[in-house]
Structure 1
Amino acid sequence: MSDARERNDSAQTLGTPQQKKRRPLFQLSPNPDAFGQMTEKIARFMGTPQFLLWMTIFCALWLGWNTLAPEELQFDPRSLNFTLLTLMLSLQASYAAPLLLLAQNRQDDRDRVVARQDRQRDQRNLEETEYLTREIASLRITLREVATRDFVRGEMRDIMDELAEVQRRQEELFARAEALAAKANEPGAPEATKPFDPAAAQPVTSAFDELSDDHPKMRKKKKVKDIDRSFE
């Protein structure tokens, strides 16, 4: 029974058209930004010397006219203690206070947003600074393992000394070979009784080969000289 009753109620609810809500003819929905900007402009103008000057001139003219003018032309006579002027100044003061508070609240909101953005910017700058610090530290560690210019120059000087020693030995061998050749060509020199031994002439041949520019040692020496010249 309860299930059937619930189904009947739901059917009646769905079958009933929804009534239209009446809306007021004049609905006030001011734009918050536009209203806030207007209040800021009014509050900013009320805090300027121009406002004080115009307010002073207005009150002076009001009081002077209602004091010195004929009674028939006075609209706020002195006998009534300037009731209309007092009412106008009271209304102006009552509206000025909320306008100033609204402008102050908007300024506080802007300051809060600016402070949050500054805090986020400072946080990003701090993170970037920490990242750069770590990168610089890693570069320093890497540079410690890299050979310096003095180390490379020292190694090249050692190689140059070794090559100079090899060249000196080559020159000695070359001089000995020339001496042997000159001695063999002298008149009356005994002819060699032993057969020609290629192994015995190998040092002289290798010495002549090493003096040539195509030899690997000479090419290595030339390359080291070029590298040393580039560092200077």
Structure 2
Amino acid sequence: MPEQRKTGGLDTPLSARARLFPRFNPNPDAFGSSTEKFARFMGTPQFLVYMTIFCIFWLAWNTWAPEGWRFDSAALGFTALTLMLSLQASYAAPLLLLAQNRQDDRDRVSLSEDRSRAERNLYDTEYLTRELASLRLAMQDVATRDYVRSELRNVLEELLETADGEELHLRAKNPRRKSGQPATGLIPQVDPNPTQHGTQGGK
């Protein structure tokens, strides 16, 4: 029969082995939020003012209070106050590091979102550029309003130049023709006795 392996050895995963103490797993979001709030409070002037007032009260009480009411010896250099401040500093440093790590994570997420947004904007810009280029290529074969206006203006100028040239040519052929007479090429007949025709008509 195959030999049964023992459970709880070094080759067994930690999750399968029995734990002496329950695993402490706090909510990282709630713990991190409270840590950031405390770290922000430690970086405010109010915290410095409160700590200064507390230390002054501690030193004054253990210096001038009655001997029986003192709880920290001034002769020993205020050992309890030094220990308390050391504990506060030892806990404040990890709390500040935890708050900084959370801020770094948020900055990293924000940076990745900004990068993805910039890439989308770049893709949209390239797409619009291609569309504009295709529209320009398509509009080369289409008569636009400005193009039609310019062509009509050119044709009108050519017609005016042609009319002026023909008028000058006819004037050169028939110099007696006045500007108000039609360009027929024939000299109009002038009646030598207009009064005689008028009297005949009156009769």
Same fold (TM over 0.5): yes
Alignment match of 2:121 (pick from 125, 134, 140): 125
Structure 1 or 2: more helix by fraction: 1
SS at match of 2:99: helix
% same residue = 62
Alignment match of 2:148 (pick from 126, 146, 151): 151
Residue-by-residue CA offset, 1:74-114 (whole Å, 9 max, x unaligned): 00021121100000000001111111111111111111111
Alignment match of 1:97 (pick from 79, 93, 97): 93
The one-letter code matched in structure 2 to 1:117 is E
Alignment match of 1:74 (pick from 65, 70, 78): 70
Report the alpha carbon displacement of residue 147 of structure 1 after superposing the two structures with TM.
2.1
In 2, distance between residues paired with 1:36 and 1:127? 37
Q: Does the alignment pair 1:83 with 2:79?
A: yes
Farther off after superposition, 98-107 or 145-154: 145-154
Report the alpha carbon displacement of residue 26 of structure 1 after superposing the two structures with TM.
3.6
Cα gap change, 1:71 to 1:56, in 2 (>3 Å): same
The answer to whether the 8 Å contact 1:71/1:77 transfers is no
Aligned length in residues: 144
Aligned CA-pair RMSD: 2.5
Larger relative contact order (Cα-Cα within 8 Å, sequence gap ≥ 6) = 1
Structure 1 stretches of 5 or more lacking a match? 1-7, 158-232
Report the alpha carbon displacement of residue 32 of structure 1 after superposing the two structures with TM.
1.8
In 2, distance between residues paired with 1:60 and 1:25? 42
Q: Does the alignment pair 1:61 with 2:57?
A: yes
Cα gap change, 1:61 to 1:113, in 2 (>3 Å): same
Other-structure match for 1:137: 133
Normalised TM-score (structure 2): 0.64
The answer to whether the 8 Å contact 1:36/1:106 transfers is yes
